[in-house]
Amino acid sequence: MQNGRRIAIKSTEEGIVKTATEALPARGDETILVAEDDTAIRKLFSIVLEAYGYKVILAEDGEDAIKKFMENKDKIQLVMLDLIMPKKSGKEAYDEIIKLRPDMKTLFSSGYTADRIDKDNMLKEGFNFIMKPVSPKDLLKKTREVLDK
């Protein structure tokens, strides 16, 4: 305000300020098994989750996920499963994991379209799901949401 008049300034940084002030989810310390056949995505998920305090166990396919789960079933609080992987799909791995721990919290992910996922009848109503690509912030929010259920 100068000389009693208002000066309107259009901020090009409005989006940046809004993004910076949005609340991030609470940090975690839980152990998460991440099963993802894409090496780059597996590494990205690991980096994001570990930077936020989570302990991460990595698996490269559904079969490896079952093996790693059996080795660490008492430590793991959440299993993240890519739906479509070699050897065993995320759904097949889930079916075996749930026999060992019926209360296991699970978050499915996929880069495939909903048509493909529905066609293969992979997701039941009420399953936790996140679509790839996913931003680190959205990954952290969904992870915290599933853990807190």
Residue 12 maps to a domain? no
**With contact defined as beta carbons under 8 Å apart, do 83 and 117 qualify?**
yes
What average pLDDT score do residues 99-110 get?
A: 96
66 in any annotated domain: yes
pLDDT in tens, 40-54: 999 999 999 999 999
In a domain, 34, yes or no: yes
**114 found inside a domain:** yes
Q: Is residue 106 part of a domain?
A: yes
- The answer to whether residue 1 sits within a structural domain is no
Helix axes 136-148, 39-51, angle to 10 degrees: 70
What pLDDT, in 10s, does the model give residues 29-43? 999 999 999 999 999
Environment class of 45 (CB within 10 Å of its CB; exposed 0-12, middle 13-18, buried 19+)? buried
- Answer whether 78's CB lies under 8 Å from 106's CB: yes
Structural domain total, the chain: 1
11 occurs within a structural domain: no
Q: Could you tell me how far CA 99 lies from the centroid of its own chain?
A: 22
Task: Tell me the pLDDT tens digit for each residue of 48-88.
Answer: 999 999 999 999 999 999 999 999 999 999 999 999 999 99
Task: Tell the burial category of 143 from Cβ atoms under 10 Å away from its Cβ (0-12, 13-18, 19+).
Answer: buried
Q: Where are the alpha helices (DSSP H) in the chain?
A: 14-21, 39-51, 62-72, 90-100, 114-119, 136-148
Residue 38 has phi, psi (to 5 degrees) of -85, 115
The strand pairing partners of 56, in sequence order, are 32
* Residue 2: inside a domain: no
CATH number at residue 54: 3.40.50.2300
CA 122 to CA 51: how far, in whole Å? 31
Domain hosting residue 68, numbered range: 26-148
Quick one: average pLDDT of 87-109?
A: 96
